[in-house]
């Protein structure tokens, strides 16, 4: 027996996976391991964006919006219409925007897919086997969960296959304390402010958290109305409006950190985890020189730059090394100038 206070404190300490949107995270409390989340929309591109963002963020350390682990991506799709299992370009762009090496995201993501309902059971077998065989898996994403249930000519059999799929994935995710996230479309016959998701009442009862995403256009900006319809401990329904950034790469809420805030946080991180671990004193001094003479005076240019990943770290180390050489040469030159002044002083005394 445990008290409710103990369970509450344990829940609070659990890491949360960020969706990439401050407002969306605030609405749902982030993605919590052990729970089953459903995002459904008429616009597949909206759920695509969330799925790709979750795959990128999953590898981030806890406390930075990640779960510090790997992800398994399962896609149910039509081969002729959606041959690409994942969009590598979008995944890489999101990774770079987050300061993550895209190759790390690719290495930490398992991709499994089924192009028809006959392949569905074996694809689920592969996912379950992967999660059970890799203790680092922290996220299971199922894109187009209800695809075959809605397109099958044998609807009852397809719905039964959907029930088995959900049951197996929920079990393995719960056992491994991995978050389970699924996407699907809107039920074709459903209308109203909050239309029902595909999959019938069964799916609505199975999920712990359910979100309806409605895409719209306001002026020249794309917006997504995110409505929370089910949650284990939050009041529903609740809604927040998200803005889709240029190029459709991010969902931005009302509050987003400015470049200055991100820059200051990055400097503090570098001071704590990078500068203090440098062995060469001239390198540590060079960091301060870079900050004083390079980064701070060019803050405007930095704010407009597109930041890569590993190449950034390599450039940073190269710049620190080169600046360290400059510092050393400056020190040697200063010493030589002092010696030269002493010699000139002695020569001047002899002449007198």
Give the mean pLDDT of 285-312.
68
Q: Please check the confidence at residue 233 and state whether its pLDDT lies above 80.
A: yes
Q: Please check the confidence at residue 299 and state whether its pLDDT lies above 90.
A: no
Residue bearing the bigger pLDDT, 312 or 180: 180
Give the mean pLDDT of 311-317.
57
At 262 the pLDDT is 66
The domains located in the chain, with CATH, are 8-252 (3.40.50.300), 259-351 (no CATH)
pLDDT, averaged across the chain: 81
At 82 the pLDDT is 57
The 3-state secondary structure of the chain reads CCCHHHHHHHHHHCCCECCCCHHHHHHHCCECCCCEEEEEECCHHHHHHHHHHHHHHCCCCCCCCCCCCEEEEEEECCCCCCCCCCCHHHHHHHHHHCCCCHHHHHHCEEEEEECCCCCHHHHHHHHHHHHHHCCCEEEEEEECCCHHHHHCCCHHHHHHHHHHHHHHHHHHHHHCCCEEEEEECECCCCCCCCCCECCHHHHHHHCCEEEEEEEEEECCEEEEEEEEEECCCCCCCEEEEEEECHHHCCEECCCCCCHHHHHHHHHHHHHHHCHHHCCCHHHHHHHHHHHHHHHCCCHHHHHCCCCCCHHHHHHHHHHHHHHHHHHHHHHHHHHHHHHHHHHHHHHHHHHC
Q: Please check the confidence at residue 181 and state whether its pLDDT lies above 90.
A: yes
Give the mean pLDDT of 188-198.
83
At 130 the pLDDT is 93
Give the mean pLDDT of 26-51.
88
């Amino acid at each position: 027996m445990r008290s409710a206070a103990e369970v509450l404190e344990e829940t609070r300490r659990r890491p949360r996976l960020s969706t990439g949107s401050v407002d969306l995270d605030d609405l749902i409390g982030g993605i919590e391991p052990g729970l089953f989340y459903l995002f459904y929309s008429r616009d597949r591109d909206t759920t695509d964006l969330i799925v790709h963002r979750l795959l990128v963020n999953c590898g981030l350390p806890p406390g930075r919006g990640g779960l510090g682990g790997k992800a398994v991506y399962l896609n149910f799709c039509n081969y002729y219409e959606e041959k690409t299992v994942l969009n590598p370009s979008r995944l890489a762009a999101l990774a770079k925007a987050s300061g993550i090496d895209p190759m790390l995201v690719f290495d930490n993501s398992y991709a499994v897919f089924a192009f028809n309902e006959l392949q569905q059971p074996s694809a689920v077998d592969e996912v379950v086997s992967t999660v059970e065989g890799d203790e680092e898996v922290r996220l299971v994403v199922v894109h187009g969960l209800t695809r075959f249930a809605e397109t099958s000519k044998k609807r009852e059999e397809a719905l039964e296959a959907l029930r088995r799929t959900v049951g197996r994935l929920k079990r393995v995710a719960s056992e491994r304390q991995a978050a389970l996230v699924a996407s699907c479309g809107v039920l074709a016959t459903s209308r109203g402010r909050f239309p029902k998701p595909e999959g019938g009442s069964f799916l609505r009862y199975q999920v712990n958290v359910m979100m309806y995403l409605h895409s719209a256009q306001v002026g020249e900006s794309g917006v997504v109305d995110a409505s929370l319809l089910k949650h284990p401990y939050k009041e529903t329904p609740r809604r927040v409006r998200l803005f889709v950034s240029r190029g459709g790469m991010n969902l931005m809420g009302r509050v987003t950190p400015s470049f200055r805030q991100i820059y200051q946080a990055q400097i503090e991180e570098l001071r704590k985890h990078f500068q203090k671990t440098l062995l060469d004193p001239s390198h540590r001094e060079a960091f301060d020189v870079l900050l004083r003479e390079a980064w701070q005076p060019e803050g405007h240019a930095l704010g407009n730059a597109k930041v890569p990943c590993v190449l950034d770290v390599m450039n940073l180390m190269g710049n620190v090394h080169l600046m360290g050489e400059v510092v050393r040469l400056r020190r040697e030159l200063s010493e030589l100038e002092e010696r030269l002044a002493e010699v000139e002083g002695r020569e001047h005394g002899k002449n007198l």
